[in-house]
Structures are given as C-alpha cells and as structure tokens.
Amino acid sequence: MTAAVAVAGCAGGASGGPGGSDGSDGPGSVGVGDPYFPKAGNGGYDVSHYALDLAYDPAAHHLTGTATITARATEDLTALNLDLEGLDVERVTVDGGRARWRRAGQELTVRPAKGLDRHRTFRVVVRYSGAPVTVTDPDGSEEGWLRTADGAVALGQPTGSMAWFPGNHHPSDKATYTVTATVPEGLRAVSNGEPAGERTKGGRTAFTWRTTEPMASYLAVLAVGRYETGRTTTRDGLPVHTAVDPRQAAASRAVLARLPEAVEWAEGWFGPYPFSSAGAIVERPEDAGYALETQNRPVFAGAPSTLLLVHELAHQWYGNSVTPKTWRDMWLNEGFATYAEWLWREDHGDGTAQETFDAVYAGTYFPDTATNEAVWSFPPARPPDAAHISGVPVYQRGALVLHRIRRTVGDGAFRALLRGWAAKHRHGNADTADFTAYVERSAPDEEFDGIWSDWLYGEGKPARPSKP
C-alpha cells in the first residue's frame, strides 16, 4: 500500500468549506471493509457506468484520461472517495459543477459543492494524466499498467485497475463500460465487450469498446500494441473476437480455433454463455507472466494450452458473471475453473474427474513434492492473508470440494447444480455462505456438513473418502 501523503487539489474558484447544508450526513467510507484489501472500493454509492476516454503514447509512456462515472448515492453524502493509484488529477466535476478534491495514497476524495442526497443519481468527471504505474501484489505478482515491447496491457486482479482509471475498485460494485482509447496509428487498442467504432485522424487511431453486461473493475482490460485480429462465431452465432501478438500467432492458431467448440462444451455444463461475445488476447510470455480471465476476452501470456483456455473460459460463468462478494471467496472462481479442467479431460478421454481427484489427494498430481503438499496448507474458504488468495488450495482443494459434492448428489444433480448456481447469481455477487446454502437447498435429503467442515473450512488433509 502506498504511503498516505495528502495532496490538496482545488479547481479555480472552487474554494470554501464542506459542500452544502442540505442534510447530507458525511463522506462515504474509505474502503468497503474487504477482509484482505480493506481500502479497496468505497462506501456510500453504487456505480452504474464508466465512460473512459483515454489516450496513450507508448514511446513517452504517458496516459491522458477523462473518466465519467455515473453512480447512485446509497446514503446522504457530503463527499465520496474513488480509488486511483499514481497519475495526476487535473480537474474534477460533479454534475457539471467544479468539485474540490484531495489525494491520500490511493484515495481520491471528491467534495461536491452541494451534498448528494441518498438515492440520487449523479455524475463525476475526473480528468487525469501521467505515467501509469505497475502495482505489486502481496504475493509478488505484478498488475496494473504493464508496459510491453510495442505498447501496454492493463490488468486488474485484485486492485490494479486503479492504476489506469479512478473508480470504486472492489468486485462488489459492478458496472457497464464504454472505453475509447486513442493510440498511435499502426497500433490497436483492445478492451472488453464489443467493438463500437474506429477512427484515424492526425496519425492517431481511436478504438471504442462497449461492455453492456455488469463487470467488476478487476476484469477490465486494455491492451495496446500490434495484433493480428480475428472474428468468428459459434454455431449459435456468438461472436468470438481474438487479438494475438504476431510473434504468438502461429503457436496460438490451433488452440484458438477450438474456442467456439470450448464455448459450446461449457454451455452444456454451465448453462447459457453469460456475455455478448467470447474471445482472447494473446501477449508474449514476458508481457504479463500469467493468464487472467478478463471479461469476454481473457488475456494469455503466450499461446495457451487447451486446458488453460478452458480454465479462463469457465471463469466467464464463475468469477465474471457470478462474482465474489469479497476476495475471501476466490475459491468460488478458481475452484470452479479448475474443476472445469477436470470435466474437459473427462469428456475428452483424458482420465476421469475421480482419477484426477485421487491423484491430487495422493500427492502425485503435480511433478514436485512442494506443490502436492501445498494443497493442504490452508482451507480454500479461509486463505490466511491477501498473499494467499491465489494459493494452490484455492484452486485444487476448491476443485476437491466440488468433486465431493458431485459424488454426494450424483452426476445429473451436479450438472443441474452448476447450471442453477450460475443462473441464480447471473451478473451478480455471491459468497461462500450463499453457495453452501444453495447446495443444501438443492439436495435437502443429503448431508454436507462433513464436506464443509473437513474439505472447505478444515485445516490439514481430511481422511480419505470412501470409494464411490
């Protein structure tokens, strides 16, 4: 976390004390109290739409942005906070009027001239610029604005989106997006959702993308560079957009050709695809170092394997459409996506899910002893701290929990459970308590206490389950 150094900002003529004497109670909270990232997000309002107008010059490493944020007050407000890491704020308005603002670490506090009444819809416009920063996560990985050889890729899990636009950066506040990015002619800018225009003028090209389904900010992506782009459809007509670094095109061609097939397979297990398009962005391995399930368009560091493609595709249901309420609930993303790999292998003759379960349990699944032992290092629903929300148990032990549920309810009921869970919380948020309650309601005659206590919340390695 950046040290909190307050920098006062004031628009010309916008001086004076706190905004308004109209009954507003006070400022919204700094952070939503996430158990692992307590300063992430902000209280007092709910964002419905982000309109981001950006310009990036890779040679100068300079970003200019105007963020127009449409939101509704959930309480009476004299001020509200936005998350923004680095970058220089130049001007802030609320509903067209100049607003006072100040900086303290990642917090941008905005004080409108008049208070905002509860339930009121309002619009904040922030003009900003500067050299966007890379954010180092508690586990040592990098996110935020990652420079590449020919541009940049902006990734946001868990908090990196605040490095390129101000917002309410917590998964509990989802919104729609319009992103327009202007880049030097010859480069492309790729984001989430659907392409909505491209215009070249004066040696620069503006690309516009629209995301009409709700999206958590950590799933927003902006990729700038030279790409080979493609468009195809599934048999049902779902658009599939791809953007591939030319140096990865040959290695990626075969696996990306299976994207429509993988979408159709996933719909058979998880229900209707939840978004208006599918696709992928393939960067070079050194550009990001990991894959991320950015909405509609996962990012891959190098040509993905088929299983990695399936993993990130499954996240479109589990993580992107059904989004965790807090970062403690990451196993609802990663456990499900990992189990999707098991299901794909099972359906394609590469070992049953039960065989994969047995190998993970026996400690023979991974080639090294340390990773096999790490499966039991903590319970998937209780990572010990922020550095472990993407730890091995969140993925593998999360998948073990799902397999234990499958063996309890049977294959048909399990498929219905996966589809029903995705449908019930489509485009919403859910936590572990919501999931366990849903499972119990779905199979009221079955007993799940042992699964929850031993596999989901229990410390150490549970006793070997009886053979199915």
Cα–Cα distance list, 252 to 8, 283, 306 (Å): 49, 10, 10
User: What angle, 0 to 180 degrees and rounded to 10, lies between the N-to-C axes of helices 331-347 and 398-409?
Assistant: 60
- Looking at residues 332-345, what average pLDDT do you find? 98
Query: pLDDT value at position 14?
Result: 30
DSSP-assigned letter for residue 468: -
pLDDT, position 8: 30
In 3D, which of 176, 213, 226 has the Cα closest to residue 69? Answer: 176
Pick the closest to residue 183 from 166, 151, 199, 205 (CA basis): 205
pLDDT band at 27 (very low <50, low <70, confident <90, very high): confident
What's the average model confidence in pLDDT over 7-34?
51
pLDDT tens digits, residue range 185-207? 999 999 999 999 999 999 999 99
Q: Model pTM?
A: 0.93
The pLDDT confidence band at residue 16, using thresholds 50, 70 and 90, is very low
Element (H, E) at 429: strand 428-430
pLDDT digits (tens, 9 = 90+) for 445-461: 999 999 999 999 999 99
Q: Which residue has the higher pLDDT, 468 or 238?
A: 238
Query: What per-residue confidence (pLDDT) applies to 371?
Result: 98
HEC string of 58-105 equals: CCCCEEEEEEEEEEEECCCEEEEEEECCCCEEEEEEECCEECEEEEEC
Residue in the block written with tokens 């509704």:
72
The pLDDT score that the predictor gives to residue 202 is 97
Separation of alpha carbons 319 and 312, rounded Å: 10
Show the tokens assigned to 27: 């400022």
Residue 26's pLDDT is 77
294 burial via Cβ count (<10 Å: 0-12, 13-18, 19+): buried
Three-state DSSP at 389 gives coil
The answer to whether the CB of 142 falls within 8 A of the CB of 156 is: no
Cα gap 463→332, rounded to integer Å:
23
pLDDT band of 263, cuts 50, 70, 90: very high
For residue 28, the model assigns a pLDDT of: 86
The pLDDT score that the predictor gives to residue 468 is 62
**Percent above pLDDT 90 for the chain:** 92
Residue 262, helix vs strand vs coil: helix
pLDDT over threshold 80, residue 359: yes
